[in-house]
Amino acid sequence: MKYDVAIIGGGPVGNYLANLLAGEFKVALIEAKTSFGGKACTGIIGAENYEKLNLPREAILNEFRGAVFYSRIQSFEIERKSPQAYMVDRKILEKTLAEKAVRNGAEYYMGTRFLGFKNGKALVQRFNERFEIEADFYVGADGVSSKVAQEIGARAEAEFLSGYEVEVVGDFKRKDFVEVWVNKDINEEFFMWVAPVNESLARVGTFGDYDSLMRFLKLKLLKETQIVEIKAGNVGFGFRRPWVKENVALVGDAALQIKPLTAGGIVYGMLCAHALRYAIRRNNLAMYEKLCGDIKKQIAFGLRVRKLFKDLDQEKIEKLFEVLSTREAIEVIENYADFDDHKKTITALVKHPRLLAKALKVTPMLLRYLVM
């Protein structure tokens, strides 16, 4: 079987790339699972990018127009009149993209595991049958633990964390607001979140260990017996190199195109999928990484902020909350906040003279982390 492009991995980014290429190229998509969805993923995507990427409206579960940020003893709120982000049903998102790709001519191999490359071809296995798929280009969209990345010798310089998320029944009247909790007494590794699906169900999660999540649920007065779904997964913050070797490219989580501040990877991966299509069209994969230069800058900036977070103790976090909860800080955030562009939001805060002066009193090394 011969194709122009063989995509290995049928998550959101792999299916999105199949959509971009189908109809113009002969495309195969190889997915190890027998159905879509299932991964631990809160599925929150910035509204602006959701529209720009032309993602399916039927996948949207909820709309968020604001967020409440909590420390151990303080809180502040950011809100806008219009939706700033959407929560999606990942299974519907993936399956809708897959259906569209197939209608446009892509061929899908579900329940088919990629074993490696052999003589320039992809060796795969479906049930007890092994066979080869040949393509001019191969794309690894097979997640953080990418087998394709291993095959091309890509190495990761990254921090890997386990993530845990539950869907829990409760009272979530402010269903258009996400809660973000920053409390190292509960979890030193990452923040905790509460993202309502509707007024009686929410996705609650964190990265680190499951015990941290259970401690947070108790803080929220939510019982373990109210959980109706548990999911787990891994994430990597950093860089995996190279993204390209000969006629093989990595995209999405396989390339660690992940936001280090929120662990979201769908938007970065899809934006890079556009760059990859451009490179494939020109028969020149070598240009792909350069085309993703802005995403790389976002990741590098996020890693510096991540390092700052890890170096702060809870007392300094409380003092930074005092700065961020001031009216002038909230106005800056509400005016400049971009769900998918963390650099823009944080840079706007740092460029505000009074806010910068206050923040430097808390952590004099702030500029060393953020300005490079």
How far apart are alpha carbons 313 and 159 in whole angstroms? 19
Q: Is 173 helix (H, G, I), strand (E, B) or coil?
A: coil
Over residues 161-172, mean pLDDT: 96
Over residues 147-173, mean pLDDT: 97
Nearest to 27 by CA among 290, 276, 267, 287: 276
Q: Which residues pair with 78 in a beta bridge?
A: 67
pLDDT at 41: 80
Over residues 225-254, mean pLDDT: 97
Residue 237: count other Cβ atoms within 10 Å of its Cβ: 20
Q: Is 243 helix (H, G, I), strand (E, B) or coil?
A: coil
The yes-or-no verdict on residue 82 having pLDDT over 80 is yes
pLDDT at 371: 67
**pLDDT of 169-191, one tens digit each?**
999 999 999 999 999 999 999 99
pLDDT at 39: 72
pLDDT at 339: 86
The yes-or-no verdict on residue 26 having pLDDT over 90 is yes
% of the chain surpassing 70 pLDDT: 99
Over residues 234-259, mean pLDDT: 98
Mean pLDDT of the chain: 95
How far apart are alpha carbons 359 and 353 in whole angstroms? 10
The yes-or-no verdict on residue 338 having pLDDT over 90 is no
How far apart are alpha carbons 370 and 309 in whole angstroms? 11
**pLDDT of 195-217, one tens digit each?**
999 999 999 999 999 999 999 99
Q: pLDDT band for position 44 (50/70/90)? A: very high
Over residues 57-82, mean pLDDT: 96
Beta strands at 107-110 and 27-31: parallel, antiparallel or unpaired: parallel
How far apart are alpha carbons 252 and 260 in whole angstroms? 14
pLDDT at 365: 84
Q: pLDDT band for position 94 (50/70/90)? A: very high
% of the chain surpassing 90 pLDDT: 91
Q: Is 334 helix (H, G, I), strand (E, B) or coil?
A: helix
Q: Which residues pair with 125 in a beta bridge?
A: 113, 130
- For the record, the structure tokens of 51 come out as 């529209």
The yes-or-no verdict on residue 1 having pLDDT over 90 is no
Q: pLDDT band for position 372 (50/70/90)? A: low
Q: Is 84 exposed, middle or buried (0-12, 13-18, 19+ CB in 10 A)?
A: buried
**pTM score:** 0.95
Q: pLDDT band for position 367 (50/70/90)? A: confident
Nearest to 189 by CA among 63, 273, 310: 310
How far apart are alpha carbons 89 and 200 in whole angstroms? 16
Beta strands at 129-140 and 121-126: parallel, antiparallel or unpaired: antiparallel
pLDDT at 370: 77
pLDDT at 110: 98
What Å distances lie between residue 292 and 84, 194, 199, 345, CA to CA? Answer: 24, 31, 39, 20
